[in-house]
A and B are shown apart, each in its own frame.
Chain A
Amino acid sequence: MKDLLATVKSNKRIAENIYMITLTLPESVGAMHGGQFVNLSTGNGANLLRRPLGVCIADGNDLSVCYQVKGNGTKYLSTVESGRKLQVLLPLGNWFDLDGYKNVAVIGGGVGIFPLIATIRENCSEKNFYSYIGFRNAGAVCLEEELKKSKKLTITTDDGSYGIKGNAVSAYLDDFESVAADVIIACGPPVMLKVLKRKLSEAGIKIPCYVSLEERMGCGLGACLVCVCKNSDGENVRVCRDGPVFDINEVQL
């Protein structure tokens, strides 16, 4: 883990309200895995909090993360031009550990797709990914070429303007038998993860499932206890340090 001043290589819009920022790190921070995140300054001094963003594409000392423009912090970030320097703390948190698994079902939605893309990129030469990715509409679809590194990719949209009309969870469950995954990884809106948990339980599906969670964060490294969620025993766990990746059965959604 290091706190570095990175140089912005590019910062471009990749879908409606979604940007990809590529940073060149001044030194190596070692391997970065899908599910891990970085805590990135918006570049605006008035935003004291950094934004936790999932590792998407790690390529040598270049790192790309994606963000949705939502409040004034991400709005400012979207105006940051190449050549500017931004403070970044990285790499943070745990990751999707796929050791021992071969066939991986991937369920993603919206801005949750980026850590999944990193995981697919990292492992696609050795493992088979069956990806079910949901977007709001055609305008929100992005990084399809990365998602296509999966053995099979199904894109759904809420309004049917691209891919299949429907949602990623149902699309996967429809294919459940034919995919025969030995593990599920998922990241997306809280409602998507909740539905996934309920449907897996209703269908009596026992294969391991790991989810990456999101929460408003302070320090990003586990000291401030701001970003907690409840584990299955009702105790607080830190999303930033004990996660962000959790076994779906060991965390309350």
Chain B
Amino acid sequence: MANLQVEICGVKFKNPVIAASGTFGFGREYNLLYDISVLGGVSTKGTTIEPRQGNPVPRIAEGSSVILNAVGLQNPGVEHFIKEDLPFLRKKGTVVIANVAGKTLEDYGEICARLDGLADMVELNISCPNVHAGGMALGIRPENICEVTKISKKGLSKTPLIVKLSPNVESISTNARAAEDGGADCISLINTLTGMVIDIERRKPIIANNTGGVSGAGIKPIAVRMVYEASHAVKIPVIGMGGITSGEDAIEFMMAGARAVQVGTANFSNGNAMPEIISGIDSWLDRHNIKDVNEIVNTLTLN
């Protein structure tokens, strides 16, 4: 049994496996399947200031080794989250990362200020369409990333800020640096890639929103490459995600430079995916006689 505890921005995680935002709700449902206090952390369903209804259905489709989703940030709003959902998660003794999104820059500042000192960390979703960027996501251009990070950071005096980076960009290194320059304490990546699946009989996209975010095992090589590039571009810690299904996958991301990982789509294929990934990391470390998971971070040597 190796040490699995990791520390990011002063926050202690019992292991480096965190539920990815959007796949895990606020933890209540998976807690019926297993005690979610075994998890390193939970990044909550993306929360906005006002409640949102989200997109029409279908909201999900499948490709080979990937899925696409377009839920559209359905959530009960930040006040409901603070009152009804946060207390449950806090009681579980797992790190609570409040994932937040906004329509305007000001929304980000406001929601961060509201959550300061309440969640263990705040994670910015900057991949949703934003008024400030003319309907484009704030997470595409480095200047927008820097600006949204700055305004969010202003609202946070106690809680560390994670900026979740979109992969739909020109240079992930530039964008990672933009988040760091804006004052991010940590970055996480990758959010989903934008894709489309067509029902050729109807000649229409399967998802009502037409496009959706691609995730799952099939995107893992892209995610590993981006985590590697981003973690070498910044000094702040990196949380990696994208298609992690096994302990070995998590190890791969950590070798590429991630200090912890998030798991999303794998929960859909296997309800017990995260507990199994945690024990998978542990047994890999044991097999390699490594006493501490932190020892594998950023140990990749290039050919």
Contact = CB atoms under 8 A, between A and B. Distances in A.
A11 B160 CA distance: 52
Contacts of A216: 57-61, 206
Nearest to B217: A48
What secondary structure prevails in chain B residues at the interface with A? loop
A222 B66 contact: no
B33 A48 contact: no
Contacts, number: 100
Contacts of B4: none
A225 B47 CA distance: 13
Contact of B45 (A46, A221, A225): A225
Contacts of A223: 23-25, 28-30, 267
Interface stretch (B67-75, B117-125, B183-191, B229-237): B67-75
A3 B267 contact: no
B32 A1 contact: yes
The listed residue with most B CB atoms (<10 A of its CB), out of A41, A71, A221, A227, is: A221
Contacts of B62: 47-49, 71, 73
A30 B213 CA distance: 37
A215 B206 CA distance: 12
A48 B268 contact: yes
B60 A50 contact: no
Interface string A1-38: 11100000000000000000000000000000000000
Interface string B29-51: 11011000000000001000000
B67 A48 contact: yes
B157 interface: no
A236 B57 CA distance: 11
Nearest to B19: A223
A71 B216 CA distance: 19
B66 A48 contact: yes
Given A48-B216, A49-B67, A228-B74, A219 B60 contact: no
Nearest to A228: B57
A1 B269 CA distance: 15
Contacts of B270: 3, 87
B57 A215 contact: yes
B289 interface: no
Interface in A127-176: none
Interface string B256-289: 0000000001011111100000000000000000
Interface residues of B, number: 35
Given A216-B61, A229-B57, A3 B272 contact: yes
What secondary structure prevails in chain A residues at the interface with B? loop
A222 B268 CA distance: 11
A120 to B, nearest CB: 29
B71 A48 contact: no
A85 interface: no
B57 to A, nearest CB: 6
Nearest to B24: A223
A46 B65 contact: yes
A215 B61 CA distance: 11
B57 A227 contact: yes
Interface in A37-95: 41, 45-50, 71, 73, 87, 89
A226 interface: yes
A221 B57 contact: no
Contacts of B54: 225, 228, 236
A47 to B, nearest CB: 6
A221 B271 contact: yes
Contacts of A46: 64-65
A219 B65 contact: no
A3 B69 contact: no
B53 interface: yes
A232 to B, nearest CB: 15
Nearest to B62: A49
B29 A218 contact: no
10 nearest CB pairs, A to B: A3-B271, A223-B25, A223-B29, A222-B29, A216-B58, A226-B60, A46-B64, A226-B59, A221-B29, A48-B216
12 contacts: A48-B66, A48-B217, A87-B269, A215-B57, A216-B57, A218-B67, A218-B69, A219-B271, A222-B25, A224-B24, A225-B71, A228-B54
